[in-house]
Amino acid sequence: MTYSELAAAVEALAVAFQTIDPVPGSRVGICARNTREHLIALLATYAAGKVWVPLNPRNGRVELDAMIAVTRPTLIVADESCVDRFSPTNAPLVLGKVTRAGESLDAPAVGALIERWRGHRPVFIARDDEDTQIIKFSGGSTGAPKPVVQSIRCINAQAYGLLDFFKFDSHDINVIAAPLTHGTSCFVLPILAVGGRHVLVEDPKPAAVLDALELFAATTLYAPPTMIYALLADQTIAARDLTYLEHLIYSAAPMSPARIREAQAVFGMAVETAYGQVEAPQIVTAMGGGELTVEKNLASVGRPSSVARVGIMNTDGALVPAGQVGEIVVWGPLLMSGYLDQPELTSRTIVDGWLHTGDLGLIDERGYVYIRGRLREVINTGGFKVFPGDVEAVLARHPAVAECCVFGVEDAKWGEAVSAAVRPATGVRVDADDLIAFVKAELDSVKAPKRIYFVDELPRNAAGKVSRSAVRALVTGATTSE
C-alpha cells in the first residue's frame, strides 16, 4: 500500500469505529496475526481517539478471556482464524482477515467497513499527553500478567527514543515477523514517521522471514532470541543475500555471548540490542552493532537511551555507585502511567518518580547496564544470595549447553538449592558433574548448581520468554542428575 492508500483506509476504518462506538477513549481489543488488517485496525484505533488493547492469539483461551475481562474493550477486532481463541463477549465484533471460503460470521469485516466509509474522515478527538493510548500486559518470566497503562506521552517518548538511537529514515524497510501485539509494534510509528516501509509476515516460519528479508532488501528486523535461533538453524540461510540488513534488534530475553557471536557470523554488525519492559517500553537502554562486537559488551544491554535515566538502587532506596549490584530503576517520559485499576501495585512500582523494574543489575564505569536476574528470583542458599543471571552466563559459555535456566528449589540443607535446567546442544553429550565443575571453576562453589536437569525444551510464555516458574514446575517432577 502507498501512504495515501494507507491513510484513506485508516481514516475510513476510524470512522467505522467511531460509528460503532462513539465514546471517545473507549478500548479496542485486537486479536490478530501479522495481517494488513491488523495494522490498519491498530492505526485506526489511534485515529479514532481510542485505546488499543493487544490480544496475542498465541495466548490460551483462559488467558485471553482474563485479559478481556480486565480491560473491558467495547469493540473487538479479530482475524477470522482467531475468533475461537477467546469466548464470545457483549462487545461488537469486527472481523480482520477473512480466510474461510464460503463461510462468514455475523460480523462486519475490516475490508467492508473501509469500503463503506471510504472518503470520510473521523471526528478529531482532542487528547492529552497523559491520556491512555495502549493497555498491554506485563508478565515476564514469573507471576500473573498485569495490565499496564501506556499514555500518549509514553508512546511518543518511545518513538522518539527509537528514532534517536537507531537513526531510521525513509530508506528503511522493516520486516514485522514477531507478533504485532508485542515488542515489534514499537517500531510501527517511528518508521512510518520518517517515510519507511513495513513488510508483514503473517506466518513467521524461518523460511518466510528470510524470504521477506531477501525479497524486499529489508534493512530492519526486530526479533526475540528464539526467532534469531530459528533463522540461524534454517538450512538455506548461507545462500541468502542479507547484505541490506542494518538492524537486527533483539530484546525480550538475553542471548548468551556464544549465540551473539553465532548471529554476528551470519548477520555481521547488524546485530543490535535494546532493553525495556512493558512498564518502560523497548528503549530504556540500547546498543548498536559496533559496540556489540566488543567482548565485554556481550553480556550488557547497552547504555541508557535519550528518553530514560537509569540507576541502580539498594534496598534502602538509595542510588549506588558504578559496579554495585542492586535493582535497576528508570525515570523519564518513557514510564507507564500505572497498572489498570491497581493503585497499590502502581504506588509500589513507581516510587518518587522512579520505576522499580524488579530486575537486578549493575552499571559499569562506562555507563553500560548489565542485568543479573529478577529481584524475586534471587536464590538464598545457605545464607548466600545467588543471582540466576550470573550462573546462567557461565553455563551458557559451555559448548555443550544450547540453553539454560537457573532457579532455586526448596532444600532441607541449603534452604534453597541452586538448580539448572539445561537443553544440551544438538549431538553433544555432557555429564552433569562436568557442568557443575565448569561453573565452580569460574564462580564460588556456593553459586554452582547442586542439581542439573536435562530437558528437550525450556517452556516459554506467549511472548517467547523462558518462563522460570514453568521450568521449575516442569523439572521438579523430572529425572535429575546431581
Strand runs labelled E in 426-465:
451-454
Asked whether residue 163 is domain-assigned, the answer is yes
Residues 313 and 178 in one domain: yes
pLDDT value for 122: 98
Asked whether residue 66 is domain-assigned, the answer is yes
Q: What angle do CA 344, 144, 343 make, to 5 degrees?
A: 15
Q: Which residues of the chain have pLDDT under 70?
A: 100-104, 139-144, 383, 462-463, 477-482
Asked whether residue 471 is domain-assigned, the answer is yes
Residues 311 and 410 in one domain: no
Strand-strand pairing, 280-287 and 303-304: antiparallel
pLDDT value for 144: 62
CB atoms within 10 A of CB 125: 14
Residues 103 and 182 in one domain: no
pLDDT value for 99: 79
Asked whether residue 137 is domain-assigned, the answer is no
Residues 358 and 458 in one domain: no
Name the domain boundary from 340, 374, 408.
374
pLDDT value for 386: 83
CA distance 441 to 394: 10
12: three-class secondary structure by DSSP? helix
pLDDT value for 416: 82
DSSP classification of residue 178: S
pLDDT value for 481: 42
pLDDT value for 172: 98
* Counted domains in the chain: 3
Task: Describe the strand order of the beta sheet including 401-411 as a list of residue ranges.
Answer: 401-411, 415-424, 451-454
- Which structural domain range is residue 175 located in? 146-374
Residues 294 and 441 in one domain: no
pLDDT value for 480: 41
pLDDT value for 482: 38
Asked whether residue 140 is domain-assigned, the answer is no
CA distance 183 to 172: 18
pLDDT value for 415: 75
